[in-house]
Structure 1
Amino acid sequence: MLAAVLTLTALTVLGAAPAQAAGYRYWSFWESAGGTWTYATQGPATARPADGDVNGYRFAVSADSADAATPRRTPDFAAICGSGQAPEGAKRIAVVLDFGTAADAPQGERPPERRQGCARVPADATSAEALAAVAKPLRYDSAALLCAISGYPRTGCGEQVAAAPSTRPTGPDASAAPASDEDSGGPSVGVAAGAAAVAVLAAAAVWQARRRRR
């Protein structure tokens, strides 16, 4: 009976571990829509942006398109490409590259700093061609899936990982990394809950020992 009580008490303190959905580590592709990002409905190899458009790419672990993290920079064509007109027969595409956070990086790799560029390409160029103009080398797999931009990551391509991060900033200027114990000024909730569970179990063990002496 005591064992059942102790087990129930520990589970109440610690809480049940939530199930986490499997995620995929990949480059997501975004298009600008009135100063915000919209998940692209087609791949960069077939999308044909117009002069003045902004394309964004974000490397992250995501369960699906609804969970995908946006590039952490507001799409602003003028800030990237400036003013003026494209030469005849050409167009300018602003490209935003967000290499993601250390939490999403493959083991042994470190994400490069975010950057952006202005691609000047032929009028009929695809988003993939605009990307190649500012971010070589690119790496694709045999199914034409974009695997690496500017050589990042060195290996892997859309591989499944154990779980997608439960929370991730998605705003244009959101903080990249979750707060550590030192950043937050104290232990994490999980550590505190674990300590409380240990205290509950220790108190119960003392109580049981005293009962046996009577």
Structure 2
Amino acid sequence: MRRTHVPAPLRNAVSALLVTLLAVSAALLGAGSAQAAGYRYWSFWESSGTDWAYATQGPSIVRPDDGTVQGFRFAVSEDSSDADRPRHAPDFGAICADTPAKGGTKRVALVIDPGTPEDAPDGERPPALRTACAQVAPDASSAEALASVAKPLRYDSSAMICAISGYPKTGCGEQVPGDGDGGTKDSSEKPSAPADDDEGGSSGGGPSAGLVVGIAAVLLLGAAAVFQARRRR
């Protein structure tokens, strides 16, 4: 069998092409990861004993029992598993110590955590974390308990809480780039909680499946070109 000779200029050109394609692929994939987005919003939490659990229903639906502890945290997060918890223990005894029980009412302990300056919208600074003991009617919802101690509240058309005690002044569940610059971009979808990764769409700005497949196809074509070149005399 005769040994195939590939001219040096052709070998060099094909090698340079493959190196370039690999570099571009890495850059695209890296950029996609760097641009992963989150949402800036008030998350709703319920006490799970000594810790917090992300609420599965909105505050306008939940009707807490007497002695319940609930929390609200303002932050940027990609989804419910990534959301920041309130930075205060869910301690009903401590929060409602100065609010004695009263017939015909219930007490709901609330932790209201506006978050950190890093998560604040441009031009705003979060107020201090605070706790409150709401004493409300027995059938009051969590939203009604919150309204009794933290007005003004602001909602959007889907009943998502946009502001508690007037913070923030603007915005409601807006999408935030994952580059850490604090900027925002409008999103037509403003979920009450950020979308989960398994909902079938792109989760937060990463490279799409089509992009990855396209890169793989180009690399495959490049490899085929090398193979064909080696077969030619």
Q: Secondary structure at the match of 2:124?
A: coil
Equivalent residue in structure 1 for 2:43, among 9, 28, 31: 28
Summarize deviations over 1:31-60 as a string: whole Å, max 9, x none. Answer: 001111000010000101111111100000
Q: Secondary structure at the match of 2:57?
A: coil
**What TM-score do the two structures reach when normalised by structure 1?**
0.68
Distance 1:164 1:33 in 2: 33
Give matches, 1:1-214, under 5 Å: 19=33, 20-82=35-97, 86-163=101-178
Distance 1:38 1:108, change over 3 A: same
Q: Per residue, is there more strand in 1 or in 2?
A: 1
| Pair member with larger Rg | 2
Summarize deviations over 1:157-190 as a string: whole Å, max 9, x none. Answer: 001111286xxxxxxxxxxxxxxxxxxxxxxxxx
The alpha-carbon deviation at position 21 of structure 1 amounts to: 2.1
Distance 1:154 1:84, change over 3 A: closer
- 2:177 maps to a residue whose letter is A
Distance 1:164 1:64 in 2: 17
Distance 1:137 1:83, change over 3 A: closer
Q: Secondary structure at the match of 2:79?
A: coil
Q: Is the 8 A contact 1:27 1:59 kept in 2?
A: yes
Q: Alignment RMSD, CA only?
A: 2.8
> Which runs of at least 4 in structure 1 moved beyond 4 Å after TM superposition?
none
Q: Secondary structure at the match of 1:134?
A: coil
The alpha-carbon deviation at position 99 of structure 1 amounts to: 0.3
Q: Secondary structure at the match of 2:148?
A: helix
Distance 1:61 1:136 in 2: 22
Unaligned runs of 5+ in 2: 1-14, 23-29, 181-233
Q: Secondary structure at the match of 2:36?
A: coil
Distance 1:164 1:116 in 2: 32
Aligned length: 162
Distance 1:80 1:164 in 2: 37
Distance 1:158 1:125, change over 3 A: same
Distance 2:178 2:61 in 1: 30
Summarize deviations over 1:120-162 as a string: whole Å, max 9, x none. Answer: 0001100001101111000001111100000000001001111
Distance 2:98 2:67 in 1: 10
Q: Percent identity?
A: 65
**What TM-score do the two structures reach when normalised by structure 2?**
0.62
